[in-house]
Structure 1
Amino acid sequence: MKSLVGRGTLYGLGLGPGDPDLMSVRADRLLRAARHVAFFRKAGRPGHARQIVSGLLAEGVREHPLEYPVTTEIPFDSPNYKSLLADFYADCCDRLRSLTETGEDVVVLCEGDPFFYGSFMHLYMRLKDSLSIQVVPAITGMSAAWTATGIPMTWGDDVMTVLPGTLPESELAQHMTKSDALVVMKVGRNLPRVRRALAAASRLDAAWLVENASMTEQRVVKLSEAEQQSAPYFSIVLVHGEGRRP
């Protein structure tokens, strides 16, 4: 983080898993005092992060939606996808830099933790050497998810692996076989692939699907009993560790 005279600070504000009550005291204080709030969203949608803070923003706050040019319309490993996203993040950086150069602080809303599978990281890496940036950590979605199951996640010497559901099925199964406790992020439309990989690793019967952890729509179900072919945006698959204990 740099302190630049006459310029504002950019805050990457971790909002936690979705329940506003689980935000940190620092995040809540910065959010309520913010004059400029930026957040990512799909065009035409309100934005998940913005919905989390509904009713918490100060009167007269200026909102700056950062609208993705593409989400799931084309494959994420397509060169066109990468080019579109790179241009998008560059434009976001220009907008935020312009605001801070006027002396204004800007809060960027981040679902979960800003440094864990989030869009803010792409801004941070592009701006960290030229702007004053502060990152406010948060409770992760996976913490809320395993708490929602009512089962401790790791014991003793358990090794926990966090996997993106976007990995090829064979790679998922390989990691699932080797680890004691598992967290699978980015489930969504990848749910059938994740289910097949768990079955191949002989872990399906121990897996849980947690949707919208900590939110009013929270749903916790054994994955083997969940028949749907996709999961909501805020969904995580878990396999708890069974390691050493007294």
Structure 2
Amino acid sequence: MTAPEAHQGTIWGLGLGPGEPDLMSVRADRLLRGARHVAYFRKAGRPGQARQIVNGMIGPEAVEFPMEYPVTTEIALEDPAYNTALSSFYADCAAHLAELSDRGEEVVVLCEGDPFFYGSFMHLYTRLSATHPVQVVPAITGMSGAWTATGQPITWGDDVLTVLMATLPEDDLARRMADTDALVVMKIGRNIDKVRRALERAGKLGDAWIVEYATMPGQRVSRLSEVDGVTPYFSIVIVHGHGRRP
């Protein structure tokens, strides 16, 4: 592997936090407002959630580079074609960012939540960090914004917190849910019915909350048992711990 060269521009993975611009870090705000190149992920034909968070904060001279996913839910996760399409996509995005860096340009890549927490930026980082200067600006995670929206602490004392992806098989979800004190379930979307069944099997459905669009316009906090239908992708299920207290 080749070490980054001194003349290369830095590629910044910019954590934006859970969605409310006021919850961005001072460093993220400063880098964004001074950026000459701004990259962000989005679905084809959509403005992109990360881009919407920073409306009005990008300089008029900045060059934007939207990175449009080739697939989202059109291909099943277990289909080899899904991984092949995404691998090629991330390689192309990384090549474009590398070209900018090699010209001495700095680039900020907008990342919802924290860049190193289930974010797409990680796939660019692993392709670029050995050959180009890459820096990560951490941020408040979406799950932190979600449990704060419920108005209750997520953990007490020695509670064990488990974070699960709703894309897991139902049996795995139910087993892990039953074996924890506090719980966060992410990537809900079309998996809501499976999550509800798994929580019921684990004996936790009555304690579960769902937070939609945490800290963003349209935020809604509800008991999961009282919500019907499909929920947005930007939803998080929360089960609070009830551990040791003084």
Normalising by the residue count of structure 2, what TM-score does the alignment of the two structures yield?
A: 0.98
Determine the structure 2 residue equivalent to 1:237. Answer: 237
CA RMSD of superposed structures (Å): 0.8
The SS at the match of 2:82 is: helix
Is 2:159 the counterpart of 1:158? yes
Is 2:125 the counterpart of 1:129? no
Determine the structure 1 residue equivalent to 2:121. Answer: 120
Is 2:25 the counterpart of 1:63? no
**For 1:97-108, what aligned pairs fall within 5 Å after superposition?**
97-108=98-109
Determine the structure 1 residue equivalent to 2:185. Answer: 184
Distance 2:65 2:133 in 1: 19
**For 1:192-207, what aligned pairs fall within 5 Å after superposition?**
192-207=193-208
Distance 1:153 1:71 in 2: 30
Kept in 1, the 8 Å contact 2:210–2:237? The answer is yes
Kept in 1, the 8 Å contact 2:111–2:121? The answer is yes
Report the alpha carbon displacement of residue 3 of structure 1 after superposing the two structures with TM. 5.6
Determine the structure 2 residue equivalent to 1:4. Answer: 5
Identity of aligned residues (%): 65
Distance 1:218 1:48 in 2: 14
Query: Following superposition, which runs of at least 4 residues in structure 1 exceed 2 angstroms of deviation?
Result: none
Provide, for residues 131-174 of structure 1, a one-character-per-residue CA deviation record: whole Å limited to 9, x for no partner.
10000000000000000000111000100000000000000000
The SS at the match of 1:66 is: strand
Provide, for residues 92-111 of structure 1, a one-character-per-residue CA deviation record: whole Å limited to 9, x for no partner.
11100001110000000000
Distance 1:212 1:136 in 2: 22
Distance 1:135 1:6 in 2: 19
Across the two proteins, how many residue pairs are aligned to each other?
244
Determine the structure 1 residue equivalent to 2:33. Answer: 32
The SS at the match of 1:163 is: strand
Kept in 1, the 8 Å contact 2:4–2:131? The answer is no
Distance 1:231 1:137 in 2: 28
Report the alpha carbon displacement of residue 112 of structure 1 after superposing the two structures with TM. 0.3
The SS at the match of 2:196 is: helix
Residue type at the aligned position of 2:242? E
Determine the structure 2 residue equivalent to 1:170. Answer: 171
Normalising by the residue count of structure 1, what TM-score does the alignment of the two structures yield?
A: 0.98
Distance 1:180 1:146 in 2: 14
Provide, for residues 1-55 of structure 1, a one-character-per-residue CA deviation record: whole Å limited to 9, x for no partner.
x762211000000000000000000000000000000000111111110000000
Unmatched tracts of structure 2, length 5 or more: none
Distance 2:165 2:96 in 1: 30
Residue type at the aligned position of 2:196? R
Distance 2:31 2:208 in 1: 38
Determine the structure 2 residue equivalent to 1:47. Answer: 48
Report the alpha carbon displacement of residue 233 of structure 1 after superposing the two structures with TM. 2.1
Distance 1:19 1:39 in 2: 17
Unmatched tracts of structure 1, length 5 or more: none
Distance 1:83 1:227 in 2: 35
Residue type at the aligned position of 2:82? Y
The SS at the match of 2:59 is: coil
Distance 1:29 1:223 in 2: 38
Kept in 1, the 8 Å contact 2:4–2:130? The answer is no
Kept in 1, the 8 Å contact 2:212–2:220? The answer is yes
Distance 2:177 2:136 in 1: 32
